[in-house]
Structures are given as C-alpha cells and as structure tokens.
Amino acid sequence: MAVTTLDPTTALVVIDLQNALRPMPGSPHTVPEVIARTVELAEAFRSHRLPVVLVRATSAADGSDAVPGRTDAPSRASHARAEGWDQIIDELAGHPGDIVVTKRTRGAFHGTDLDLQLRRRGVTQIVLTGIATSAGVESTARAAHEHGYHVTLATDAMTDLDPETHRNSVERIFPRLGENGTTADVLTVLKATR
C-alpha cells in the first residue's frame, strides 16, 4: 500500500535515534541513511508546524528497571554503556518545539506520556522512522494502531540488525497496521496536502 494522505495534524515520531545506535551495522539501510532521511522529514514537518517527537530509550545502569519476564534472548540492559549513550543524536536534537519522550521498553507508548502529548496537540496520524524496525518501530506501530492513530511507516528511514527481520516487518506486519512508503513518498504527500 502507498502513502495516500496525511491528516491535517500528523506527527513525525522518531524511534531511538540516539548515540548508542549510531555505530549499529544497519541493514538493509545504513544508520547514516536512516539519520539523513529522518532529518529531512523532521525539517519538513517543522517547516509545516507539525509535531516532531523524538523518542529515546534509557535504563538504569544496574538493569533494575528492565522489563520483567523470562526470555530466551539475554538482556542487554545491564552491560556498560558510554556516557551519553541514551541522548538523541546531534543532527536531531536542539529544536525547542520538538517533543522528547523517554521510554524504558521497546514501544514508545507503554509507560510514557506519548499518547497524551499527541492527543493534546490533536494528532490523528503518525509517521514513524527509526531503529530497529522489528523492535522499537514495530512495537510503537502496533500500539499506535491500537490507540486509533493512522500510521504511516517511512520504510527507508528505518533499519534493523538483520535484513530479514526488517523485511518481515515491512512486508507482513506493517501493511496490517498502516501505510508503507518511502521518505520521498511522505514528503510528496506532505507538500501536496499543505
């Protein structure tokens, strides 16, 4: 499905573009490509006075605030992290009108004020970008859909560690949650509807 429209009050929601993920070997898109495309979208949204939400993940150094429950995969929450690992990357940070949401789980809705921030501004649709496609982006897309938002996924402005998990999300999961398109598609529709 292609991007058909953007509601009058659509927000860009950027997932986990923070210092710790900059060195990640993204696939199928590189992290620098995801950053550049997201910056382009953020600038366009800001120029149209539409909300830009920057979501960052953080956790306690000792892992004490990690999500409970047994999993087969070991948690990465308790390994040593460099100073500033959880800060938004410089290319996106520093815009006073942007909304910053801090999360402690994969998705940006659970345990945060994201829904409140969006509803307070009359947002009915979100455009999602970020890292990782099959984790933070997909979890947020699922919750946004369940909260009643129209969801658009800029699939070339997101990436994953594994191209197959990215592809699975884009081809099998996202079409059930919203509309997929490229950064160029979103920008074209944004320009046409403003």
User: For the domain that residue 159 is a member of, what is the CATH number?
Assistant: 3.40.50.850
Domain assignment present for 75: no
Domain assignment present for 79: no
Domain assignment present for 32: yes
pLDDT at site 63: 60
pLDDT at site 86: 85
pLDDT at site 24: 80
Domain assignment present for 54: yes
pLDDT at site 116: 98
What three-state secondary structure class fits 49? coil
Phi, psi of 135, rounded to the nearest 5 degrees: -120, -95
pTM summary value: 0.91
Name the nearest CA neighbour of 11 among 72, 76, 101, 82: 101
Q: Can you tell me the distance from the alpha carbon of 193 to that of 7, in angstroms, rounded to the nearest whole number? A: 8
Quick check: 81 and 127 in contact, CB under 8 A? no
Output the six-digit token pair for 125.
């649709």
Q: Can you tell me the distance from the alpha carbon of 102 to that of 43, in angstroms, rounded to the nearest whole number? A: 21
Domain assignment present for 144: yes
pLDDT at site 60: 61
Q: Can you tell me the distance from the alpha carbon of 6 to that of 8, in angstroms, rounded to the nearest whole number? A: 7
Please count the structural domains in the chain: 1
Domain assignment present for 64: no
Domain assignment present for 1: no
Domain assignment present for 16: yes
Give me the domain span that covers residue 99: 10-58+87-192
Averaged over successive runs of 10 residues, the pLDDT of the chain (194 residues) comes to: 91 94 87 97 98 89 62 60 84 95 94 97 98 96 98 97 95 97 97 89
